[in-house]
Structure 1
Amino acid sequence: MRLTLDDDQQDLAEAVTRLVRRRADTLDLRASIASDRGYDDVLWTTLCDQIGAAALAIPEEDGGAGFTLLETLVVAERLGAGLTPGPLLGSAVLAAQAVLLAAGPADRARLLPALAEGRTIGTLAWADRQGRWRTDGSDVVAGRTGDEWLLSGTATLALDGAEAELLLVVADTPDGVGLFEVATTAVGLVRTATPALDPTLRFATLTLDRTPATALTTDAAAALARLRDVAAVAVTALQVGAAEAALGRTVDYLTGRVQFGRPLGSFQALKHRLADLFVQVESARSMFLAAAWAAAHDPADLPFRAACAKAWCSEAFTAVAAEMVQMHGGIAITWEHDAHLYFKRAHATAQLFGTAREHRRRLLRHV
């Protein structure tokens, strides 16, 4: 296990940071959120063309760059630092990994090259009506009429699901849980955008009523178990990047803001609070890197590492975001300041792919 980035991965992180900052001079975060797709499609295209962001974890034989999930998670961490919206989590991680883990060679060759280019956005409709990402099924049921599969039911919290061009749906079959592809123009399909606490994340609810579908597999339970862990680690990447950025912005504010004739950051009580936050952020980074390494190189250790990381990083980021609001004072509760965006990202990602309590329960079962 390695808890630091090598030189190439560090260069990758710096390249992503430079691209995000350069593009922010043209289209800032709020303008990206307000756009039709909810993210800066020029930045996304640039990340895919110049860095291969969507292709990093896809094998070369399937049209990808042939790296590992660790490199994709490095990109996610840097995007998380700026709260940069985009389809990396929903398309390049969830949809692409679902195809890689569950589909056969022919379907991988058909679907993955377009996802790797980043010009086709995929979504995975998996969560049930209670917002649970189950590995034993979903609220969508698949039945056969002759040689045709028909899906009926509802899937919630599909990332970028309202605009995605590739729709993947988890559904119960008579033989077990399956993974299906649904055409965007299929009969009986309704996609409804779902308002989210975090405006940088876009969700949709997919309702299917005897909707024709193509089966990628009818035995996806093992693939979904691994995918849930991969998704949890990807969320911790977003959390660690954002927590580090929020802490950095808070330190900058306290060192520049003068009150009672001295910088606020010089008061010992605030120094102690910042020191505690620093320990939480650095611990979260170590947890994330351990889980990212397991996702890329040690599948047997992944369930344990993913549960540890998701539980710790969720609570660490929530603590940093709350203190960011407190230490910025009145300015932090204005719409113009970004503190509320970090606060919303912290609470939203704490729920994605399992809460800290759920993952601690998984740890107890593991032990």
Structure 2
Amino acid sequence: MTTTEPGTPDLLYSEVEEDLRASVRDLFADQAGAAAVLARTETSEPYDLKLWRTLAADLGAAGLAVPEELGGHGASARETALVMEELGRSLAPVPFLGSVVLATSALLGADTTHEVVVELLAKLAAGELIGALAVPLSSTPDSAFPESVKVDADGTLSGRVTSVADASAAEVLIVPATGADGPGLYAVEAPAAQVTEVISLDLTRRIADVVLDNAPARQVSDAAHAPAALKHALTTAAGLLASEQLGIADWCLTETVKYVKERYQFGRPVGSFQSLKHRMATLYLEVVNARAAARYAADTLAAGRDDVEIAVAVAQARCSPIAVHTAEEAIQLHGGIGMTWEHPAHLYLKRAKSDEIALGTAGRHRAHLATLIDLTL
């Protein structure tokens, strides 16, 4: 139970959130340890769908932000952000970003009385269906509505979308498309599309190109709602991605501090050297900064306050470079072992670098923030 007044940001974790964190962290420790994640990157099955079913259905993570009347658990972006934070700590290979964050948020931003929307949300929330939002992962909340997919005269869809997150694991694609009636969002069954994985830096989150050729589709949002629904999805995803970046930074700092305490040189733990103490202190302050920005974005999204766009832009502008810096320092301060494929540090750097581009670079968010606060450059 929170003691803050209505409208007051709450950056602390509640008891319920801490319980959720413990459950998710225990699950990942048991089924997505570093060795297991590293091993899976070398296989032809990059996603752990058994783990996904446990996370999505058994723990109920897929339906956290979906209202109870639509088949979810009626929680909020705060709880979803906490799962994202733990995903950043573990890099568990599950399609959470594509399905729970992007696809589900797009449907929640549409008309939730629409028959198809109700049907899809119920299945997504129950973990019975994996979704993906067919936009490039680099799309930003202030992007124009995409026009790469067109609505054909017979209502089918044709076009191509590149670099779609988690598309190769998806069973339904939520596709922005334009037609004679203007922009809209459409649901396309994955077998009706040609989905081809592309080589990506991040081996724990796959991206794919999606080609549609007269693909049967069901409209889930019309011209009156589709642009706002898409912006809602991208804004929510950018805000929650900051929590994943926080998780990356937190893991990197924790593991690096642990290592420098155990690694000895000249009869002393290397962590006792003053220069390394200073670097650790800098990283600690950055992680604290990232936590404040990410938690504020999550709390603002949950409360639906007027400064959502500002909070999200600030969170991405801060958390993105911090995640990269802590991952780089983790590799350097682990010495020789940090440079090897056997150590998981390189996976965290790859995720941090990929997240640096995902849903807008830090520079793009700073530029957008300037327009939001009327800052004249």
TM class by smaller structure:
over 0.9
Q: Are the structure 2 counterparts of residues 26 and 235 from structure 1 closer, same or farther at C-alpha, using a change threshold of 3 Å?
A: closer
The amino acid of 1:140's aligned partner reads S
Alignment partner of 1:207 is 2:208: no
For 1:336 and 1:246, the matched residues in 2 are separated by 16
1:97 matched to 2:101: no
Q: 1:181 aligns with which of 184, 187, 194?
A: 187
What count of residue pairs does the alignment treat as equivalent? 361
Deviations 1:70-124 (A, max 9, x none): 1111111112111112111110111111111124421222111111121311011
Q: Write the distance in 1 (CA, Å) between the matches of 2:78 and 2:182.
A: 31
Structure 2 gap segments, 5+ residues each: 1-8
User: Whole-Å Cα distance in 2 between the matches of residues 347 and 48 of structure 1?
Assistant: 26
Residue 301 of structure 1 and its aligned partner are, at CA, apart by: 1.5
Query: Which residue is equivalent to 2:200?
Result: 196
Given the alignment of the two structures, is residue 280 of structure 1 paired with residue 258 of structure 2, yes or no? no
CA pair 364-68 structure 1, distance change in 2 beyond 3 A: same
**Cα distance, 1:209 vs structure 2:** 2.5
Alpha-carbon contact 2:38-2:344 (below 8 Å) kept: no
**Separation in 1, partners of 2:365, 2:143:** 14
Q: Which amino acid aligns with 1:200?
A: T
Picking from 313, 327, 335, the partner of 2:319 is 313
Q: Deviations over 1:166-225 (max 9, x none)?
A: 111111234432111112333xx3211112101001111111233332211232111222
- Alignment match, 1:264: 270
In 2, Cα distance between equivalents of 1:34 and 1:63: 36
For residues 1-367 of structure 1, what are the structure 2 equivalents within 5 Å? 1-24=9-32, 28-105=36-113, 106-127=115-136, 131-133=138-140, 135-145=143-153, 148-186=154-192, 189-219=193-223, 220-367=226-373
Alpha-carbon distance in structure 2 between the residues aligned to 1:179 and 1:364: 30
**Distance in 1 separating the partners of 2:180 and 2:76:** 34
Q: Which amino acid aligns with 2:296?
A: A
Output the CA distance in 2 between the equivalents of 1:209 and 1:302: 37
**1:7-66 deviation digits (Å, cap 9, x = unpaired):** 111111111111111224697112343455423222222223332010111111111111
Give the deviation of 1:137 after TM superposition: 1.9
Provide the secondary structure at the position in 2 that maps to 1:108.
helix
Instruction: Give the Cα–Cα distance (whole angstroms) in 1 for the partners of residues 262 and 191 of structure 2.
Output: 55
Question: In structure 1, what residue type is equivalent to 2:164?
Answer: A
- Equivalents in 2 of 1:193, 1:275: separation in Å? 40
Separation in structure 2 between the aligned mates of residue 240 and residue 91 of structure 1, nearest angstrom: 20
Structure 1 Cα separation of the partners of residues 208 and 315 of structure 2: 27
The secondary structure found in structure 1 opposite 2:196 is strand
Q: Given the two structures, how large is their TM-score scaled by the length of structure 1?
A: 0.93
SS at match of 1:312: helix
Q: 1:353, CA displacement in angstroms? A: 0.1
Q: Distance in 2 between matches of 1:103 and 1:159?
A: 24
- 1:138-168 Cα deviation digits (max 9, x unpaired): 14232342xx313222112222212311111
TM-score by length of 2: 0.91
Cα distance 1:64–1:37, how it changes in 2: closer, same or farther (>3 A)? Answer: farther
Percent sequence identity is 40
Take 2:309 and 2:196, find their aligned partners in 1: how far apart are those partners?
32
Counterpart residue type for residue 132 of structure 1: S
The CA distance in 2 between the partners of 1:79 and 1:191, in whole Å, is: 25
Structure 1: unaligned runs, 5 residues or longer? none
Return the alpha-carbon distance in structure 1 between the equivalents of residues 310 and 252 of structure 2. Answer: 28
